[in-house]
Structure 1
Amino acid sequence: MLSPQNLPVVEATLPVVGGAVGEITARFYERLFEAHPELLRDLFNRGNQANGSQRQALAGSIAAFATALVAHSEVRPDAMLARIAHKHASLGIAPEQYQVVHEHLFAAIVEVLGDAVTPEVAAAWDEVYWLMAHALIALESDLYAQAGSAPGEARRPYTVVARIPETADVATFVVRPADGSPVPAVRPGQYVSVEVELPDGARQIRQYSLTGQLDGALSFAVKRVAGAPAGEVSHHLHDRVGSGDTLRISPPFGDVVLADGEGPLLLASAGIGCTPMIGMLAHLAATGATRRVVAVHGDRDPGSHAFREDLHQLVGKLPDAEAHVFYEQAADDLPADRTGLVELSGIDVPAGATAYLCGPVPFLRSVRGQLIAAGIRPADIHYEVFGPDLWLGAEG
């Protein structure tokens, strides 16, 4: 909770700090990488740094956390940090790194805001930072304990045992622990961090949703992303990695997971956002689930639709399930259920359904709004977005 003496200071300065937080985070990353270039080379996503999405996400999370503290000063808003904690754990973030971040973040605040940062203001925002940092450290510690790993041991060698082409730009990689040990427990909807060594010596890390678990192996799908550095890891995996090669992979993490129960489900995805949904459907089919399931997917055209056959096969294995597919450009020999963007008005959305969404932010906004209009409670709508979460819309 935010202390009584600092609450009015944070509340009074929130508009100023919030208004400048984008500039602050940009300067923060400049300072951080000047002092620690190895972090950009071997930890931070160079693509997200180049396109600015990471600093936007950091700015949004700081502003949202501080706003929540001001609105409910007696409660530390840990729940909103779960997604960040899972991402940090998959990367192996250690508690001592928060001190490094503090040093350069507060130096950036002083540089940007100048004399407005009085000792009183600095002390108040210092408390905000450490409330957020300690909450994340505690959450990450629990995640490491559950995964049986430590920050410095976040990834271990896996051998690629198969590579399966899904579309022209999507491939599935099937991997097993190189030491022959069992694969870790997986919850449907989770992802793993995959580390590769690029030709320039950088060790870059990306997260990929798990699409299945079978015969002591895990599978994840990778879409080739255009451009550099955004697509440098996906291109490396597509062009240089095949059966017999070794990848360093984290335990499964991710807070958007299929909840147990018998209630109805709606799984909605677009593009490569189908991957966690395929993992959920595979789990439902493997466990003999009898619950009502409505799967909805949107894509550019049939040739771009990864796991198209898997979607229909898995739905066909479930006794009370149906699939609806939308293509922006339907092919004559393989038409979509409907042509155009995903539209739920013609679909029977089960009352009381729990919904899971994954896809681009415009898709998430559209489908979430349609679900609420159809009577689904906001608290029952969960979303996953690949890359930094730039959508700060609340679920409750």
Structure 2
Amino acid sequence: MLSSHDISIIKSTVPVLEVHGKDITTCFYKMLFEHHPELLNIFNHANQKKGKQQAALANMVYAAAKYIDQLEVVLPAVKEVAQKHRSLGVLPEHYPIVGKYLLLAIKEVLGDAATDEIIHAWNNAYGVIASVFIDIEKEMYEKAEGQEGGWTGFRSFTINKIVEENELIRSFYLIPSDGGAIASFTPGQYVSVKVQVPGETYTQIRQYSLSAAPHEPYYRISVKRENGALNTPDGKVSNYLHNVIKEGDKLLLSAPAGEFKLELNDDRPVVFIGGGIGVTPLMSMMNTVVKQQPNRQVTFIHAAHNGKVHAMGSEVKQLEDVSEHVTTHFCYSNPLPEDTGYSKTGHIDQAWLQEIVPTTDAHFYFCGPLSFMKSIRDSLISWGVREEDLHYEFFGPKEAL
């Protein structure tokens, strides 16, 4: 437990962290990787290049300081990060290393303002926070390994089938290379995929949502090819999966993880709203509802540029065909002359949502680009949807909506 004196000092640093937090975390990662380059085998290089990881850590440090005497307030965010850590293979022995360079970064950025008293208090606070993460992650590792077909670390899967969903997205059907069982998962969760891209010193790890329902003999991930080339951070893994990997090849996967989960202990209507590749976790949810709760009312909305890059539209329509309780709507921002079957041109807005969604008393799940999710959230809140009924997933470090 922290002393009241330490708590008071930590809280006094909140205004400073609000201003200098990203400078501190940027300095932290620079020093960390200089002294421990082996950790580049764990961290997402693209998020580092974009500054997303630095911003996410800065937000977490700020929140931890602000609520250091009420850590239960930030527990949901801690669990989300812990899920990522477990899927990446973060272990207890990594925490002292992180703590060392985080304190050095605070001292480096703040200079004389980071007094010995402040550094001592933050050292104690970090110990408490690290213990929370280690304990939660220990439970997650045990749960991942303990269930039928479960495992820890990375397990070899063979690519049984590749399906070209459109010119940008392909789906990979993955079965265990050892022929054993695979763990079930909650619709909305993801797996981490670890690859050794030719010419790269370090392994690359990316998270991909599971896009099929659980309880199948395979996992399915659906990957969008990024605009970057194979040798750029954005394109390293997605282009490797699109241009190099073929059926019969093997990939290393973590056990399923994530806090974005379909609520099945409820029969209220459910609304899925996907933007582009953000549809992937929603496909798992959609398939599950249709199979397990066939009488539940479902509204499925997907925004895409046009029919050429609209992924999984035919699969969605098939689900609508087999269930009288499913209604689908497609919105194209730039439809092609040959496109048919879409409901709206332009963008999803509040007025259209109020036309096609029968009620605000529902669970709303949405995923897509950050600007898309901000717009959807603002529209739903303005319409009167309760905050607790909004469920969303970030592809990458968590950001503010």
Paired position in structure 2 for 1:21: 21
How far is the alpha carbon of 1:55 from its aligned partner?
0.8
Paired position in structure 1 for 2:320: 315
Aligned mates of 2:344, 2:327 — CA distance in 1: 14
Larger deviation, residues 346-355 vs 220-229: 346-355
Paired position in structure 2 for 1:98: 95
Does 2:362 align with 1:353?
Answer: yes
- SS of equivalent residue, structure 1 residue 77: helix
Paired position in structure 2 for 1:45: 44
Kept after mapping to 2: 8 A contact 1:21/1:59:
yes
Kept after mapping to 2: 8 A contact 1:270/1:360:
yes
How far is the alpha carbon of 1:345 from its aligned partner?
3.3
Deviations 1:4-46 (A, max 9, x none): 2222222222111331111111111111111111212x11111
Aligned mates of 1:317, 1:125 — CA distance in 2: 57
Partner letter of residue 292 of structure 2? T
Kept after mapping to 1: 8 A contact 2:152/2:255:
no
Does 2:82 align with 1:85?
Answer: yes
Does 2:131 align with 1:122?
Answer: no
**How many residues end up aligned between the 2 structures?**
388
Paired position in structure 1 for 2:207: 207
- SS of equivalent residue, structure 1 residue 276: helix
Kept after mapping to 1: 8 A contact 2:304/2:332:
yes
Q: Which of 294, 297, 300 lines up with 2:302 in the alignment?
A: 297
- SS of equivalent residue, structure 2 residue 364: strand
Q: How does 1:160-309 map to 2 (within 5 A)?
A: 160-200=159-199, 201-212=201-212, 213=214, 215-227=216-228, 228-260=232-264, 261-309=266-314
Classify 1:110/1:215 alpha carbon distance in 2 versus 1 (closer, same or farther; 3 Å): closer
Kept after mapping to 2: 8 A contact 1:2/1:73:
no
How far is the alpha carbon of 1:124 from its aligned partner?
2.4
Deviations 1:342-384 (A, max 9, x none): 1223223423211111011111111111112222110110110
Aligned mates of 1:82, 1:309 — CA distance in 2: 35
Aligned mates of 2:160, 2:84 — CA distance in 1: 26
Partner letter of residue 87 of structure 2? S
Kept after mapping to 2: 8 A contact 1:256/1:382:
yes
TM-score (norm 2): 0.92
Deviations 1:201-221 (A, max 9, x none): 421110001111465111111
Partner letter of residue 386 of structure 2? R
Aligned mates of 1:289, 1:78 — CA distance in 2: 34
Aligned mates of 2:256, 2:71 — CA distance in 1: 33
Does 2:334 align with 1:329?
Answer: yes
Larger deviation, residues 381-390 vs 132-141: 132-141
- SS of equivalent residue, structure 2 residue 159: strand
Aligned mates of 2:203, 2:71 — CA distance in 1: 42
Aligned mates of 2:38, 2:278 — CA distance in 1: 31
Deviations 1:140-162 (A, max 9, x none): 11111111179x94111001100
Does 2:390 align with 1:384?
Answer: no
Partner letter of residue 222 of structure 2? A
Partner letter of residue 4 of structure 1? S
Kept after mapping to 1: 8 A contact 2:333/2:345:
yes
TM-score (norm 1): 0.93
Partner letter of residue 269 of structure 1? G
Partner letter of residue 274 of structure 2? S
How much identity, in percent, do the aligned residues show? 35
Kept after mapping to 1: 8 A contact 2:144/2:152:
no
Aligned mates of 1:146, 1:247 — CA distance in 2: 22
Larger deviation, residues 42-51 vs 170-179: 42-51
- In structure 1, list runs of 5 or more residues that go unmatched: none
Partner letter of residue 332 of structure 1? P
- In structure 2, list runs of 5 or more residues that go unmatched: none
Deviations 1:178-212 (A, max 9, x none): 11111111111110001111112421110001111
How far is the alpha carbon of 1:242 from its aligned partner?
1.2
Partner letter of residue 198 of structure 1? V
Classify 1:28/1:294 alpha carbon distance in 2 versus 1 (closer, same or farther; 3 Å): same
Aligned mates of 2:322, 2:27 — CA distance in 1: 53
Does 2:312 align with 1:342?
Answer: no
How far is the alpha carbon of 1:75 from its aligned partner?
4.2
Classify 1:202/1:321 alpha carbon distance in 2 versus 1 (closer, same or farther; 3 Å): same
